[in-house]
Amino acid sequence: MRRRSFLTIAGLGAGTALGTTACGGSSDSGGSAGGTTKVAYQQWGSGTVMKDYLGTVKTAYEKANSGKTMELVPIVASENDYYTKLQLMMRSPRTSPDVVYEDTFLINSDITAGYLQPLDSWLGQWDQWDQFQDVAKGAAKASDGKTYGVPDGTDTRALWFNKDLLSQAGLSPDWTPTSWDDILAACREIKGKLPNVTPINVYAGKAAGEAASMQGFEMLFYGTGSTLYDASEDKWNVGSPEFVDSLQFIKTIFDEKLAPDPSAALDAQISTRVGEEFLPGGTLAIDLDGSWMSSNWLDTGGAPWPEWDAVMAQAPMPTEDGSGDGEISMSGGWTWAMTKNAGNADDAWNVISTLTSFENNLRYNINSAAVAVRKDVAGDPTYTQSNPTLEFFSSLVPVTQYRPQNTDYPRVSNEIQVAMEAVVTGQASPADAARAYDEAVKGIVGEDKTATL
Amino acid sequence: MATVTRPGAPAGPGVRRRTHPVKVDIARALPLTPAIVLLLVFLAGPILWCVYAAFTNTALTGAGSGNTRFVGLDNFRAAFTSDAFANSVVLTLVFTLLSAVVGQNLLGLALALLQKRSVKVVRTLVGITVIGAWVIPEVVAGYLWYAFLAQDGTFNEFLGTFGLGQNWLYTLPIIAVSLANVWRGTAFSMLVYNAALSEIPAEIEEAAEMDGATGWRRLRWVTVPMIKRTVTTNLMLITLQTLSVFGLIYTMTKGGPGTKSQTLPLYMYEQAFSFSQIGYGTAIALVLLAVGAVFSILYMRLLRED
């Protein structure tokens, strides 16, 4: 039956055409050669803090090292897509950048994947390494005890709120909530008094990527006193009632319309819009977000807003019922790392050490409103006076928590986003979404590595 | 080369006799070799790699990338026990039935029938409009519909006057993307049916009319039986096209909200590229392939029954 086999092939063709999309690869110009070092970073939204900073570093580097060039490779992508594109590039020596900007939460996973190379041989001879705080040094340390990245800053997370809007709603401009219920009460107050204002933004859903997991879910979940992962036992937490509680909080703010409309909240542009549109525009009262938010509003940011400090204030995120330290924060940060396929490792190291040198790191920390990881930067008056919020966000370091430093964390984080989105859209109840998360985690790490902590 | 025989025809020698020596055939085939080699390298190669990857834990990061292992049927087992996967299969079937089998197919037939009976000006205008929707790129069509159906889109501006405005992409996402796909893909069915209807001899239609078969009855007892083979072929082609629709849904809803419009191609993309699990993603691609094959076999059965 010739026709029959032809039609079967046609039928199969539809599927294989899809399958092949997973196997394509872009062919970039070949790997770095002849003194060129390719530096890959994320470019998303209208902010150009990183781009401008790298531009000046490039000029300085090329001046100091004649014959060497630093080629900037901006990867225009939202959070999850950036990691994917970077990983696809690093897979082949032909397309791999030499120096990459890696989020600390992903670096362990990428080390396991064999994309990066350890920096110990250079760090041992680098007189600047002692200037980095110990916690930061550990951020890019893998389970093999080697260090794979040089951090350029860290961050903490807390509540940003608009003093004017809270005053109009009859709340104190020095608002300091002491529990989740406090936050909900304030939001309901704002909703009642100011119908055109969104009371609170908590990132939730796949489009926001890691921002939803960390700024959103983990700021709640770690405030219950629970944890996602116990490193000493090597066990992931499943069947946790606190997990359901945290999802319930998300459900409450979306069900009661205290949060942005889900169609906006689940859009990939949400983090850009919060920083450049909702907060400066006075349409959002409270935002659970990172210490870097003000970098949007500096002259170097994407949406300059000279009055920001007069309007916006900060409060620590309270724990669920005020127990424990009473407040909670999460910390992460980014590192400069060297790829396995770096054309010239010494040049790549040279670029990394230039990027994280005192002057450059100082300028970047100021422009990105980051919490400094270099002791000399943290103590520098130009830095301490550069941003009125630095003191507040640095004060959260004693109560801050870190994400699981485990290669499986990125996949678990995806499942957290899936659970959040299911709750936001009403597809699943918090209990059902938590159950689905438990099943997914067991599938990822193996049932023997899970327990109810 | 298989020999062509009609079903039921006595197969035997002398169906097709070679008139040239074999040598000439080889000489004729020679110019084809570069094309065949290219196809093998750039099409069959990746396909085979995908089949292989579906049975491994290949990933873009983590252990699956640094230490790729053969995991047998684990990916398929994970898929068949996953709620998200089941949800995607159901949505894929809904999307295919709604937008291809019902929407594009019936609307295409209706348009072709209308065109047959109308004056030339109307025929041309309808043709241009419908084919215009088909010609524009998938992503552009997706954005057009996104703009049309969004919360502050044209459709809601219009409905808002009756107080019916809502974000269709949020409340009924799978219906919204199905509608968009009908709008975009109907032209193909219309053209196929135009061709088929023009083949029906006028005297048969006249005879039917003389016997008093009008309207629906003529369509049911005369026209449709005459174009039955075309219907089946068309159904097969649009089903396979629709199963693999990605760009339209991705630009309109990204498979969301939640997973309410996450058909298999979108689920595959998310697992492979957002969540880095290439092995699992390619396993889903193979399942999608199997779904397509099942549909093809069904339609072929229908064709054979003629």
Mapped onto helix, strand or coil, the DSSP state of residue A299 is: coil
Return the higher-pLDDT residue of A7 and A218. A218
- Please choose, from the candidates A191, A200, A202, A205, the residue with its C-alpha nearest in 3D space to the C-alpha of residue A263: A205
Residue B27 has pLDDT above 90, yes or no: no
Q: Is A145 on the interface with B (CB under 8 A)?
A: no
Which of B40, B43, B57, B61 would best serve as a mutation to test chain A binding (most A beta carbons within 10 A)?
Answer: B61
* Model confidence at A6: pLDDT above 60: no
Q: Which pLDDT does position A44 carry in this prediction?
A: 82
pLDDT in the model for residue B158:
83
A335 secondary structure, DSSP code: E
Q: Which two tokens stand for residue A48?
A: 């150009």
Lowest mean pLDDT segment, chosen from A345-359, B15-29, B212-226: B15-29
**A302 exposure class (CB count in 10 Å sphere: 0-12, 13-18, 19+):** middle
Could you tell me which of B1, B254, B303 has the C-alpha nearest to residue B139? B254
**A124 lies within 8 A of chain B by CB:** no
Asked whether residue B10 carries a pLDDT value surpassing 60, the answer given is: no
Q: What is the pLDDT of residues A430-452, one digit of tens each?
A: 999 999 999 999 999 999 999 99
Residue A98, token pair as written in the block: 């030499």
Q: Which of B78, B275, B278 sits opposite A411 (nearest CB)?
A: B275
Whose tokens are 């409450």? That residue is A252
For the cut 70, the answer to whether the pLDDT of residue A5 exceeds it is no
B285 vs A144: CA distance, rounded Å: 36
Identify which of A10, A13, A15 has the shortest CB distance to residue B285.
A15
Q: Which residues pair with A42 in a beta bridge?
A: A75
Tell me the pLDDT tens digit for each residue of A363-375: 999 999 999 999 9
- Among B195, B231, B242, residue whose Cα is nearest residue B106: B231
Interface test with B, best of A7, A117, A432 (most B CBs within 10 A): A7
Confidence band of B166 (pLDDT split at 50, 70, 90): confident
Q: What is the pLDDT of residue A1?
A: 44
pLDDT in tens, A318-333: 999 999 999 999 999 9
pLDDT band of A18, cuts 50, 70, 90: very low
Instruction: Report which residue type is found at A243.
Output: F
pLDDT beyond 60 at A29: no
d(CA A344, CA A36): 8
Task: Determine the pLDDT at residue B20.
Answer: 60
Q: How far is A5 from chain B (nearest CA, A)?
A: 10
The answer to whether residue B3 scores a pLDDT higher than 70 is: no
Residue that has been written with the tokens 């490039």 in this structure: A58
Q: Which among B49, B62, B299 has CB closest to A407?
A: B62
Q: Is B236 on the interface with A (CB under 8 A)?
A: yes
A240-281 confidence digits (pLDDT tens)? 999 999 999 999 999 999 999 998 999 888 999 999 999 999
Confidence of residue B15 (pLDDT cuts 50, 70, 90): low
Q: What is the pLDDT of residues B106-153, one digit of tens each?
A: 999 999 999 988 888 998 999 899 999 999 999 999 999 998 988 778
Q: Which residues touch B86 (CB under 8 Å, ≥6 apart)?
A: none
Q: Chain B, 101-140: which have a CB under 8 Å from a chain A CB? A: none
Q: What is the DSSP letter of A433?
A: H
Residue B12 confidence (pLDDT) above 70: no
DSSP string, A51-77: HHHHHHHHHHHHHHSTT-EEEEEEE--
| Mean predicted confidence (pLDDT) in A106-119 | 94
Tens-place pLDDT, residues B70-97: 999 999 999 999 999 999 999 999 999 9
**Continuous segment of H or E residues that includes residue A251:** helix A241-255
Chain segment B173-227, per-residue pLDDT in tens: 999 999 999 999 999 999 999 999 998 888 888 888 888 877 888 888 888 889 9
- Asked if the model's pLDDT at residue A208 lies above 80, the reply is yes
Does the beta-carbon distance from B50 to A421 stay under 8 Å? Answer: no
User: Which pLDDT score is estimated for A11?
Assistant: 43
Q: Which of A3, A5, A20 to mutate to test the interface with B (most CBs of B within 10 A)?
A: A20
Total residue length of chain B? 306
Size of chain A, expressed as the number of residues it contains:
453
Q: Enumerate the residues of chain B whose CB falls inside 8 A of the CB of residue A268.
A: 254
Cα(A441)–Cα(A331) distance, integer angstroms: 23
| Cβ atoms A148, A119 nearer than 8 A | yes
DSSP conformation class of B68 = -
Pick from A305, A6, A74, A399: which is nearest to A293 by CA?
A305
Q: Determine which of B264, B274, B288 to mutate to test the interface with A (most A C-beta atoms within 10 Å).
A: B274
The number of C-beta contacts closer than 8 angstroms across A and B is 171
List C-alpha distances in Å: B88 to A204, A316, B94, B261, B265. 22, 41, 10, 8, 9
| Contact with chain A for residue B151, Cβ under 8 A | yes
Q: Which of B150, B246, B289 has the CB atom closest to A12's CB atom?
A: B289
Who among B151, B272, B292 is closest to A14 (CB)?
B292
Q: pTM of this prediction?
A: 0.85
Q: Which residue has the tokens 């790729």?
A: B68
pLDDT of residue A2: 47
A420, pLDDT greater than 60:
yes
Vertex B143, ends B138 and B145: CA angle to 5°? 95
A106 at the B interface (CB within 8 A)?
yes
Edge-first strand order for the sheet with A284-290 is A198-201, A284-290, A157-162, A312-315
DSSP B71: -
Eight-class DSSP state of A339: B
The answer to whether the CB of B279 falls within 8 A of the CB of B58 is: yes
How far apart (Å, rounded) are the C-alpha atoms in residues A185 and B191?
Answer: 61
For residues A435, A440, A444, A446, the Cα torsion angle rounded to the nearest 10 degrees is 40
* φ/ψ (deg, to 5) at B58: -50, 130
Contact B296, B240 (CB under 8 A): yes
Question: SS3 for A340?
Answer: coil
Given this model, what pLDDT does residue B305 score? 75
Q: Is B41 exposed, middle or buried (0-12, 13-18, 19+ CB in 10 A)?
A: exposed
Distance CA B269, CA B262 (A): 10
Measure CB to CB from residue A113 to each of B61, B246, B286 and give the nearest one. Answer: B61
